[in-house]
Amino acid sequence: MNINLFTGMLAGFALFFTVAAFSWRLRIYNRLTRPVDRAKPRGSVKAGMLYAYTTGMAPWAKESTRLHMLAYLRGVAFHLGIFLGLGLLLISPWVHLFPAVLRILIAAGAAAGTVFGLIGFAMRLIEHNLKAVSTKDDLFSVLLVSLFLAAATLWLLVPVTLPLFYMISVVMLVYAPFSKIRHCIYFAYSRLFYGKFIGSRAVLPHSQQVVR
C-alpha cells in the first residue's frame, strides 16, 4: 500500500466520521422543541423562507454588509474556496486526469481562497472589534481551513504533495464537528427561523410579499 492510498483512506474515514457527526447533531437539533410564535400570522411563511435563503442574504439586505462590503466579499470568496477544496477532496482520485491548464485554474481558485482566509485570520488578530469577540477556536478554525486550501493549491501544482493534502484534510474533518466550523448547520437553521418569522409577520420588502 503506497502513501497516497493510505492517506486517501484516512481522509475517507475522516469524511465518513464528519458526515456521521453532523448527522447526529442534526438529529438532536430536530428533536429540540421549537419556539412557538403565538401571534396570528399576517403574511406568507413560504415567502419569508424564500427571501431568507435568496435575496435576504444579498449584501444590500443588511446594514452590516452594506457598510462593510469588502469584508462581505472577502467572506464570500473564502467560503467559495472552501466549497472548491471540499469538491477537490471528493474527486481527488481522478484529478490527475484533468488537463494541466484546468488544474492550474483550479489551483488559482484555491490559492485565492487561501489568501482571503489568511486575511480573515489576520483581521481577527488586528481589528479591535473582531479581536474582542474572537476565541482560540475561531482563530484555529480559520487558520486550519486556510491551510487546507493552501495544501490543495500545492497539490494541484506539485502532485507528489497529495498525502499532505489528505492529512490536513483529516485534521480539518475530524476537528470540524467540535469547532466553529459546524456553524454550517447553525446557519441553515438560523435562516429557516428568520424566514419563517418575518414571513408570518409580513415584514418583507414589498416586492417579496407576492410569493404565496
Q: What is the pLDDT of residues 187-206, one digit of tens each?
A: 887 888 888 888 888 888 75
Q: Which of 180, 171, 186, 174 is nearest to 141 (CA)?
A: 180
* CA 91 to each of CA 20, 104, 174: distance values in angstroms, whole numbers, following the listed order: 20, 16, 19
Q: What is the mean pLDDT of the chain?
A: 88
pTM of the model: 0.85
Q: What is the pLDDT of residue 39?
A: 77
Question: How far apart are the C-alpha atoms of 79 and 183, rounded to whole Å?
Answer: 12
DSSP 91: T
Q: What is the pLDDT of residue 211?
A: 46
With cut-offs at 50, 70 and 90, classify the pLDDT of residue 212: very low
Taking residues 22-46, report their average pLDDT.
Answer: 82
Q: Which of 137, 187, 172, 140 is nearest to 26 (CA)?
A: 187
Question: How far apart are the C-alpha atoms of 164 and 5, rounded to whole Å?
Answer: 12
Percentage of residues in the chain having pLDDT higher than 70: 96
pLDDT per residue over 100-142, tens digit each? 999 999 999 999 999 999 999 999 999 888 899 899 999 999 9
Structural domains of the chain ordered from first start: 3-13+43-56+64-208 (1.20.950)
